Structure 1
Amino acid sequence: MADKTFRLEVVSPDAELYSGDATFLVAQTTVGELGILASHAPMLAELAPGGCVKMTEASGKQTAFAVQGGFLSVTGESITVLAESAQFVSEIDVAAEREILSSAEPGSAAYLQAKSRVRAVEAVS
């Protein structure tokens, strides 16, 4: 039976946020939402502004990252999320981000960042 995990790296210019094995990844890209399993065909996709990335670790635990721009690189054995900036869902104050969403100009950098963070929280709620 083929291995059902792949190596996942989530990095931003500031830090490596995650490095480990995962079984499933969902990413919001500029062409839509993608679900990726082990042995997926190689591809490169641009991450959507205001999007998030949700993953299922090999242990079964699910988590998400708020991601503002960047790229998703998929090979047969690994996936790399190269984010312009990213944040773990556990570090997000969703009430504060919802307040920013209601007051910021739609499409602005502040709006897209708040939208990304709210999406990440909702992805694992």
Structure 2
Amino acid sequence: MDTPFHFSIETPSGVFIEGDDITAVEVATSVGKLGVLARHEPMVAACPPGIIRIRQGGEWVSFRTSRAILVTDGKTVKLLTPLARLAV
């Protein structure tokens, strides 16, 4: 069974989305594609503009962001970006 963790996308205007039932995050970084699961090694990564995918409730949800910084401490994942929106 997938272990859920806390995830948020935060912009200068405030929290764009957050949840405690996220089981995976997929994001492109400056060095390649990255998948993050619960208990991931703590890290900080630079992300170019693009699509961020999260797995929530068994479904994948996609967001488009401008450049971003991804931060995880092994318990939470936070994406800091100037601009985010739901991708369609």
Instruction: Give structure 1 stretches of 5+ with no counterpart.
Output: 90-120
* Pairing 1:6–2:1 present: no
- The TM-score normalised by the length of structure 2 is 0.89
CA contact (8 A) 1:17 1:88 kept: no
- Cα deviation, 1:1-37, whole Å, max 9, x if unaligned, reads 9x71110011111231211020000011111110011
Larger Rg: 1
Of 62, 71, 74, the residue aligned with 1:73 is 71
Superposition RMSD on alpha carbons, in Å?
A: 1.6
| CA displacement, residues 23-57 of structure 1 (integer Å, 9 cap, x when unaligned) | 00001111111001100000000011x31210001
Where is the strand percentage greater, Structure 1 or Structure 2? 2
Runs (4+) of structure 1 exceeding 2 A deviation are none
Equivalent pair of 1:26/1:33 in contact (CA under 8 Å): yes
Q: Give the TM-score normalised by the residue count of structure 1.
A: 0.65
One-letter amino acid of the counterpart of residue 27, structure 2: A
2:34 is aligned to 34
SS of the residue aligned with 1:28? strand
Q: Taking every aligned residue pair, what percent have the same amino acid on both sides?
A: 30
Deviations 1:66-116 (A, max 9, x none): 011120001110000001211112xxxxxxxxxxxxxxxxxxxxxxxxxxx
Matched, 1:17 2:48: no
Which consecutive residues of structure 2, in runs of 5 or more, have no partner in the other structure?
none
Q: Distance in 1 between matches of 2:58 and 2:17?
A: 15
Count of residue pairs the alignment pairs up: 87
Q: Which residue of 2 aligns with 1:56?
A: 55
Which is helix-richer, 1 or 2? 1
